[in-house]
Amino acid sequence: MKKIGLFFFLVSSFTFAQKSALEQKINAITEGKKATVGVSVLGFENNFKYHKNGDKPLPTLSVFKFHIACAVLDLVDKGKLSLDQNIFFKKEDMLPNTWSPIGKKYPEGNVSIPLGEVLDYTVAQSDNNGCDMLLKLIGGTQTVQNFMDSKGVKGFQIKRNEDDMHKNWKTQYDNYSTPNSAVLVLKKFYDGKLISKKSTEYLMKIMIGTTTGTNKIVEQLPKNTPVAHKTGSSGKYDNGLTVAENDMGIITLPNGKHYAIAVFVSNSTETDAVNCKVVSDISKAVWDDFNK
């Protein structure tokens, strides 16, 4: 066998063994769980790929705020919006009984907040009122869908805002992504193929500062590991059903290389703690695999 052929044979053999070992670990984590678990992993530098239910459309919940932020920043890149412009929140913009640090800080509304700050609230703190204000600003969910379609993002759909989903929880299923779509859109983002370099760096910094989901993909990783991620969580509904407990992100390894991971736990009747531990354990298994 020629040297080049032997090299590729050894690389492919190693990749197969790596996938097989990781698959065994992930299957052990998900075995017996009353949930659909979607996982996708993509190594940026070595193009390593692994997925479980990777092409299955699963509800995104607040993971879609990443896609919304990209659509907003695209308009900033085009000069149609400015991060410094003030966004005015009326009292009626503060939805009751929803997760909103903005609403907690300004319960009476009637406040102007710079667009950049609203983006930070929406992504890093997963603010629902900030999310719907951004959608109102850019013309609704169809603007986000059109932007993602224009960038060749497949396996993603957004039709509902936070207000819609709070009025009828079943509409949460109208917003979905496949796990494979999630890691591929993160790769496009990282490569600067979604928004400008300046906006990419800006949003990356916000995502690294995410404060939600500390018991998900970041939980078991070494302290201070750079993780640019976006979480999503539905809460419980009929018969203890969790529509989704999600996290997706870009992980920077100690050697400076990167991978994207998406773990979506859907239609689960497990406890919140079990759902989050599934995400956390899978993230740790992937981390260990990349750091052998």
Place of tokens 């509904």: 237
Q: CA-CA distance, 129 to 99, in Å (whole number)?
A: 8
Under 8 Å CB-to-CB from 105, ≥6 apart: which residues? none
| C-alpha angle 18-215-221 in degrees, rounded to nearest 5 | 45
Catalytic: which of 40, 100, 126, 162? 162
Under 8 Å CB-to-CB from 68, ≥6 apart: which residues? 122, 131, 134, 135, 138, 144, 158
Place of tokens 């995400």: 279
**164-169, long-range: CB < 8 A, 24+ apart:** 166/95, 166/97, 166/98, 166/128, 169/234, 169/237, 169/243
**CB burial class (10 A; 0-12, 13-18, 19+) of residue 69?**
buried
CB atoms within 10 A of CB 16: 10
Catalytic: which of 62, 177, 266, 280? 62
92 catalytic residue (yes or no): no
Task: Supply 159's token pair.
Answer: 């039709």
283 catalytic residue (yes or no): no
Nearest to 267 by CA among 144, 149, 151, 176: 176
Place of tokens 């009626």: 92
Q: Which residues are catalytic?
A: 62, 162
